[in-house]
């Protein structure tokens, strides 16, 4: 009983903190659920501890020792639960058409080394209008297909996509060489003030491309 009370208190506290952080940083519904469960466990743990101490079956020092001993495990378990539930929520929101959910889910998977799981979400974010999703998808996909995602990033206003797609099209590195198209993309990116795109556009010949003062 004493161990259960201390564990409930530590788990409840950890879940409340995780839920609060989620609400502050992500604002997902998962954070609210975790906070509710954490609050219930914390209240139950504190109530049980008070009863045990009144019956002289537990002292404050005993509660503190067990609480501190179980706190790291409770925090780690709560964090894993939050990550699993957050991933499920983001995945469902992505399928429903949320650009932010697709992008955050894809980025999280890629950062964990799960590129095959994250790339489809980044592509979906791209098709939903995310220039960042297009650029990341283009960088992770094979060059033959990635160049098209990079070009789409350029179309959506990301000059990094313009510069990278132009470079691939100019050099024919893993893609069908198309210098003319590459020049169009490079000049489009340069017009936004991208030094990288301007440098790529200078391979096209003719007037040297420079960053205009109005683009800065």
> For the chain, which residues make up each domain, given as ranges?
2-93, 99-204
Residue 188: pLDDT above 70?
yes
**Is 211 in contact with 198 (CB distance < 8 Å)?**
yes
Long-range contacts of residues 138-147, Cβ cutoff 8 Å, at least 24 apart: 138/164, 138/165, 139/164, 140/110, 140/115, 142/174, 143/168, 143/173, 143/174, 143/175, 144/174, 144/175, 147/174, 147/175
Residues 6+ apart with CB under 8 A from 98: none
Tokens standing for 200? Answer: 């790529």
CA 74 vs. chain centroid, Å, equals 24
Give the C-alpha distances (Å, rounded to integers) separating 108 from 19, 62, 138, 179: 19, 40, 17, 35
pLDDT in tens, 82-139: 777 777 888 888 989 899 989 988 998 899 898 999 999 999 999 999 999 999 999 9
CATH hierarchy code of domain 99-204: 1.25.40.10
**Is 110 in contact with 118 (CB distance < 8 Å)?**
yes
Strand, helix or coil at 194?
coil
pLDDT in tens, 139-172: 999 999 999 999 999 999 999 999 999 999 999 9
Would the CA dihedral through 75, 78, 82, 83 be positive or negative?
Answer: positive
Cα separation, 122 vs 86, whole angstroms: 17
pTM, two decimal places: 0.67
- Average model confidence (pLDDT) across the chain: 84
Residue that has been written with the tokens 């313009």 in this structure: 162
């Amino acid at each position: 009983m004493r161990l259960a009370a201390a564990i409930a208190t530590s788990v409840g506290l950890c879940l409340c903190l995780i839920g609060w952080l989620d609400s502050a940083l992500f604002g997902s519904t998962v954070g609210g659920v975790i906070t509710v469960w954490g609050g219930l466990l914390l209240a139950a743990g504190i109530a049980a501890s008070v009863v045990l101490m009144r019956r002289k079956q537990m002292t404050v020092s005993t509660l503190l020792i067990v609480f501190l001993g179980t706190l790291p495990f409770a925090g780690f378990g709560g964090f894993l639960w939050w990550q699993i539930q957050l991933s499920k929520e983001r995945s469902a929101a992505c399928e429903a058409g949320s650009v932010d959910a697709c992008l955050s889910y894809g980025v999280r998977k890629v950062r964990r080394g799960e590129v095959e799981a994250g790339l489809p979400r980044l592509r979906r974010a791209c098709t939903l209008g995310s220039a960042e999703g297009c650029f990341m998808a283009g960088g992770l996909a094979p060059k033959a297909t990635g160049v098209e995602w990079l070009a789409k990033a350029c179309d959506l206003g990301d000059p990094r996509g313009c510069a990278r797609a132009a470079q691939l099209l100019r050099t024919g590195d893993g893609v069908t060489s198309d210098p003319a198209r590459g020049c169009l993309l490079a000049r489009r990116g340069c017009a936004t003030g991208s030094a990288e795109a301007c440098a790529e556009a200078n391979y096209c010949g003719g007037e040297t491309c420079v960053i205009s003062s109005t683009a800065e």
